[in-house]
Amino acid sequence: MIEVRNLSKRYGDKKAVNDISFSVGKGEILGFLGPNGAGKSTTMNMLTGYISSTSGQILINGVDILENPIEAKSNIGYLPEIPPLYVDMTVDGYLNFMYDLKKCKLTRKAHLKEICDLCKISHVRERLIRNLSKGYKQRVGLAQALINNPPVLILDEPTVGLDPSQIIEIRSLIKKLGKNHTVVLSSHILPEIQAVCDRIIIINKGVIAADGTAAEIADKLTNEHKMTVRIEGSTHTASDKQEITDALKSIDGIKYVRADMEREKGIYDYDIESNEEIDVRRAINTLCREKDWNILMFQLSDMTLEDIFMKITSGDITAVKSNDENSSALAGYEIDFENGSSGAEKETVSDSSEIKEKKDKKSSSKKGGDK
């Protein structure tokens, strides 16, 4: 459905996207994950034909986006990070306008009704877009992307800035849409990608760092062992931490050591990664015996997708140092609310005249069982 071949984009000297290739099959939900500045939006914008590529090719449903943009774009519904809404229009006016703009041939009334029902915006169709909450504006943005029933949906950070219940709503809507559409979704929020996507591409500094299901990505990268060891040094001071870190690093097969926070007074946990072929546990034990250090805890851990993401995006310490955008992405981790409190988002009325209108309607309604 989507075929990307050797795609690159330069901004002056900067390569925002550097020779990436991937394809997305019919009915697949692909998550495009990466820290801020990784090149996600640039890729999305090229996929949708919004900006041109410096080199490479994009085929949407077999149609080249640069050679035949109108036909290729007719296959795409796009929700940019900031939804393209005309806030002085009503929801209904806007959707009808988009229907005309897309030269949609489907039966207008039934099609718009179907989309509004799906996006749960039927009850706000007469409202001015400017008076809707951010979550509802996002749903209207999604609704416009669905007009003309495009087989491909491209959604750029669709839950950014939404509150937890709005996030749940939009995520479950995307999942539903994934049943009938090919979806490419970008996000810097890992739990979001895990909750919604069948497959994940991790992009970092303009290149693809990993591609596969969460399990496949983990499998590929678990040729390393990861463990956490709590070691008690001899002085119970910060100098222990440095000495132990250096000594662990000198063990054959250990690739990475990081002293975590102080767990007990003067005692630290050390996160260690080693080559799979070499079991370093005995060497660590021998080292501690020789140095007269005590191992107070030893825990082997599998690499989670989160570990992998951290490693890919911050593992290269020298590169990350010069790129603040990467560290902000990690700070952007958010709690997975998927299992938290649910409940549909309630549209709040911000405009006082609308509040009055609603009250009037309610009081004139004599029917019982109002829900």
Q: Which residues bind ligand ADP (CB under 6 A)?
A: 11, 14, 16, 34, 36-42
SS3 31: strand
What is the closest distance, in whole angstroms, from the C-beta atom of residue 207 to ligand ADP in the complex? 12
**Which one, 37 or 150, has the nearer CB to ligand ADP?**
37
What is the closest distance, in whole angstroms, from the C-beta atom of residue 14 to ligand ADP in the complex? 6
**Which one, 131 or 204, has the nearer CB to ligand ADP?**
204
Cα 86 to Cα 129: distance, rounded to the nearest angstrom: 7
Contact (Cβ atoms closer than 8 angstroms) between residue 271 and residue 228: yes
**Which one, 41 or 133, has the nearer CB to ligand ADP?**
41
What is the closest distance, in whole angstroms, from the C-beta atom of residue 325 to ligand ADP in the complex? 7
**Which one, 36 or 148, has the nearer CB to ligand ADP?**
36
CA-nearest of 221, 291, 283, 204 to 251 is 283
Cα 118 to Cα 176: distance, rounded to the nearest angstrom: 9
How far, CA to CA in Å, does 252 sit from each of 74, 287, 293? Answer: 57, 12, 19
- For residue 316, which phi and psi values (nearest 5 degrees)? -80, 90
**Which one, 36 or 166, has the nearer CB to ligand ADP?**
36
What is the closest distance, in whole angstroms, from the C-beta atom of residue 20 to ligand ADP in the complex? 12
**Which one, 131 or 187, has the nearer CB to ligand ADP?**
187
Here the tokens at position 137 are 């504006």
What is the closest distance, in whole angstroms, from the C-beta atom of residue 53 to ligand ADP in the complex? 13
What is the closest distance, in whole angstroms, from the C-beta atom of residue 11 to ligand ADP in the complex? 3
**Which one, 73 or 188, has the nearer CB to ligand ADP?**
188
Sheet holding 254-264, edge to edge: 254-264, 267-275, 224-232, 294-301
**Which one, 17 or 247, has the nearer CB to ligand ADP?**
17
What is the closest distance, in whole angstroms, from the C-beta atom of residue 16 to ligand ADP in the complex? 3
Cα 67 to Cα 74: distance, rounded to the nearest angstrom: 14
Beta-carbon-side half-sphere exposure of residue 118 (alpha carbons within 13 Å): 23
Cα 27 to Cα 1: distance, rounded to the nearest angstrom: 9
What is the closest distance, in whole angstroms, from the C-beta atom of residue 200 to ligand ADP in the complex? 14
How far, CA to CA in Å, does 118 sit from each of 65, 113, 130, 144, 175? Answer: 29, 8, 21, 12, 12
- For residue 102, which phi and psi values (nearest 5 degrees)? -85, 0
Cα 365 to Cα 237: distance, rounded to the nearest angstrom: 73
